[in-house]
Structure 1
Amino acid sequence: MSDDTDAQRIQRFGRRTVLRGAALGAAAPLLTSTAAASEAATRGAPAAGSASLRWLGTSGWRIDVDGRTVLFDPYITRFKTGLFSGAFKPDTELKSNPKLVREYIGRPEIVLVSHCHWDHLADVPYIAKSTGARIIGTETTFHVLVAFGVDPDQISVVKGGEVLDFGGLTVEAVASRHSRNKRHSYFAPGTLNAPPAAAPRTISDLPEGDTLAFQVTAPNSGPSAFLMGASDFSERDAKGLRPDLAMIAVPSSASTSHYVPRLLRALGKPGVVVPVHWDNFEEPLSDPPRRDPAVDLAAFIAQVHRESPASRIVVPDYRTTYGGDMRPRN
């Protein structure tokens, strides 16, 4: 889930503009330069037609490659917990809206889960049981989903470091870390080494359960995308991945030292950087996305630009399908 979890998160967030006058949330690439074009050519920028990507809000993505669909942290139903109003209710009941979920997920073959907080996992039990998709996540994710009635044989447990081949489509699990709030802490830590006695009923029944990132690479030298579910990371585990696209979670605190510079250097300064987890995930998917008031997206973009001026920055929206180079297709 997002970094802070109480009334301290709620602060006035005025209208901001990004570099060079572009509006936040614009679908088109926001930062371009001759240097960026040169860097992309050197790195071998992915072809636009080799994959399509759609942001599902929060850290979620739908990736379609050659008729195959991969989902990452698909949290679509969304419901209010009081998190963004200063009246947080840990006993909020978990919900999933099957009809709404079906509008967005297609026929997923693989579902990647970064961690077990509700804004990443709440729709996964329905998706798993209704589609038969292979679920990849931590041991805690395994135990939580089994408690929800998901077939254990449908779930692949990873710890980070595994490189899995799905018929030419490669999924690399990357050991990662959960976001930190201003108190250098986070909501609902903990892991499970057995299924709970009953299916989780409320958001407080879902511990973090360790956090993963993933790198997905399309077949035949297609684009690679690094996917984060929270705004912290393991520098040693991320080092050398060199993705074409980096979907980077925006922090709401400065508790993680030099987060943006260290991450970009570890990833080899990707050709395209896509900020995620900056929206208000208690509001329905809408146009334009509503922002998390605790997150300074403009400051994040400025940090990326300073550290990696050759990277193109794309602020995604919910309605747009992007090509493998993160240029809009519609």
Structure 2
Amino acid sequence: MNDNTLGRRGLLRTAVAGAALLPMAGAGVAAGAGTAAATEPGPAPGGGGETVYTWLGTTGWRIEGNGKTVLFDPYVTRFPTDGFNPKTRLTVAPKLIDRHIGTPDLVLVSHCHWDHFNDVPYIAKSKGVQVVGTATTCFLLRAMGVDPDQLIVVKGGEHLAFDGFTVQVAASLHSRNAKHQYWVPGTLTGPTATAPRTIGDLPEGDTLAFQVRLGDGPSALLTGASDFVEQHYAGLKPDIAMISTESTAHSVHRYVPRILKALDNPRTVIPVHWDTFESPLTDPAVQDTTMDLDGLIAQTRELSPETRLIRPEHLTPLRLRA
């Protein structure tokens, strides 16, 4: 583990065991996405409270600090879909989920596609925890047996205060493929009596991003897809940005330059949604060749040379201080 300066207000410190702390522009190391090299800045002074971020693969995180645990898009089960066959049955692995989610105080859901939503009904029912999501997210959870009293519907623009932490909500957008389309668009306008059984039964249901701060720890923006609206990110200025990686199709105009500018060039960027999400979470992350991780890293280095990049590893804690 190494302590490295990373912060915005004061400094962030991180202990990175297994994750790749990628060199900044001008560091003299031509490291690509697969390089686990790191620069060695000077020692960091003490700052705010520590927050621990554990990557659950795809866009998922377990976030712990100030005596609280928040989950974002926790997809631990990771089952094969035969090339995204919409008839693939939804399935959960309770023992595996329980092993990796801790004792959550809140669950945040960006949207309803299975690689973000699949494990949430089980977590909500087994832990009795509240879930924050779109109306579609909450309608689906009700249909799958979650108590409506556990559901918090948001649209974007909310700034919610919980015991020991805060959550800002930003309306966002879903990624697009080479045809400028995306998987199972659509929303629900009311409760449904039919519980989803297959991955094709889960529409996108609108997409959200969340900025979370536990106690006096760093603020972290959590994204669930590689598109966004500049106006909805204005003023967030997160200490850490978990930026979803765009595909090699590059269907969204100037995605990386626009998101860096909208977020005021975060001091720390952690790329997400670049791994193949059908391999076991307990295995090292394998880069999905259709996701342009190298491009995100290269553009961030060029456009925001003071930004520190961390490539996460499955189940590897990142300890950060504000």
For the superposition of Structure 1 and Structure 2, which TM-score range results when normalised by the shorter chain? 0.7 to 0.9
Distance in 2 of aligned mates of 1:245 and 1:176: 18
Distance in 2 of aligned mates of 1:169 and 1:219: 5
Q: 1:109 aligns with which of 85, 105, 119?
A: 105
> More helix by proportion, 1 or 2?
1
Unmatched segments (≥5 aa) in structure 2: 1-21, 24-28
1:266 equivalent to 2:262? Answer yes
Could you tell me which residue of structure 1 aligns to residue 223 of structure 2? 228
Cα offset for 1:269?
0.6
Could you tell me which residue of structure 1 aligns to residue 310 of structure 2? 314
Number of positions where the alignment pairs a residue of Structure 1 with one of Structure 2: 295
Unmatched segments (≥5 aa) in structure 1: 1-17
1:75 equivalent to 2:75? Answer yes
Could you tell me which residue of structure 2 aligns to residue 65 of structure 1? 65
Please give the secondary structure, in 1, of the residue aligned with 2:191. Answer: coil
The worse-fitting range, judged by mean Cα deviation, of 249-258 and 143-152 is: 249-258
Distance in 2 of aligned mates of 1:114 and 1:267: 18
Change (3 A) 1:31 1:124: farther
TM-score relative to the length of structure 1: 0.84
Cα RMSD, aligned residues only: 2.2
Is the 1:287–1:319 contact (alpha carbons within 8 Å) kept by the matching residues of 2? no
Could you tell me which residue of structure 1 aligns to residue 180 of structure 2? 184
Is the 1:114–1:229 contact (alpha carbons within 8 Å) kept by the matching residues of 2? yes
Distance in 1 of aligned mates of 2:97 and 2:34: 23
Change (3 A) 1:268 1:165: same
Could you tell me which residue of structure 2 aligns to residue 53 of structure 1? 53
Change (3 A) 1:76 1:240: same
Cα offset for 1:307?
1.2
Cα offset for 1:295?
1.1
Aligned pairs for 1:34-183 (under 5 A) are 47=48, 50-83=50-83, 88-183=84-179
The worse-fitting range, judged by mean Cα deviation, of 315-324 and 158-167 is: 315-324
Could you tell me which residue of structure 1 aligns to residue 9 of structure 2? none
The worse-fitting range, judged by mean Cα deviation, of 54-63 and 166-175 is: 166-175
Q: Deviations over 1:207-260 (max 9, x none)?
A: 00000000001213x200000000001111011200000000000021111111
User: Which amino acid is the alignment partner of residue 158 of structure 2?
Assistant: E
Change (3 A) 1:312 1:46: farther
The worse-fitting range, judged by mean Cα deviation, of 107-116 and 291-300 is: 291-300
Q: Deviations over 1:36-79 (max 9, x none)?
A: x9xxx9xx9965x5111100000000000122100000000011
Is the 1:272–1:325 contact (alpha carbons within 8 Å) kept by the matching residues of 2? no
Could you tell me which residue of structure 2 aligns to residue 3 of structure 1? none
Could you tell me which residue of structure 2 aligns to residue 208 of structure 1? 204
User: Which amino acid is the alignment partner of residue 113 of structure 1?
Assistant: V
Q: Deviations over 1:159-181 (max 9, x none)?
A: 00000000241101100000011
Distance in 2 of aligned mates of 1:196 and 1:75: 23
Could you tell me which residue of structure 1 aligns to residue 236 of structure 2? 241
Please give the secondary structure, in 1, of the residue aligned with 2:311. Answer: coil
Please give the secondary structure, in 1, of the residue aligned with 2:301. Answer: helix
Distance in 1 of aligned mates of 2:39 and 2:275: 20
TM-score relative to the length of structure 2: 0.86
Change (3 A) 1:174 1:99: same
Distance in 2 of aligned mates of 1:205 and 1:321: 33
Please give the secondary structure, in 2, of the residue aligned with 1:173. Answer: strand
Is the 1:176–1:212 contact (alpha carbons within 8 Å) kept by the matching residues of 2? yes
Percent identity at matched positions? Answer: 54
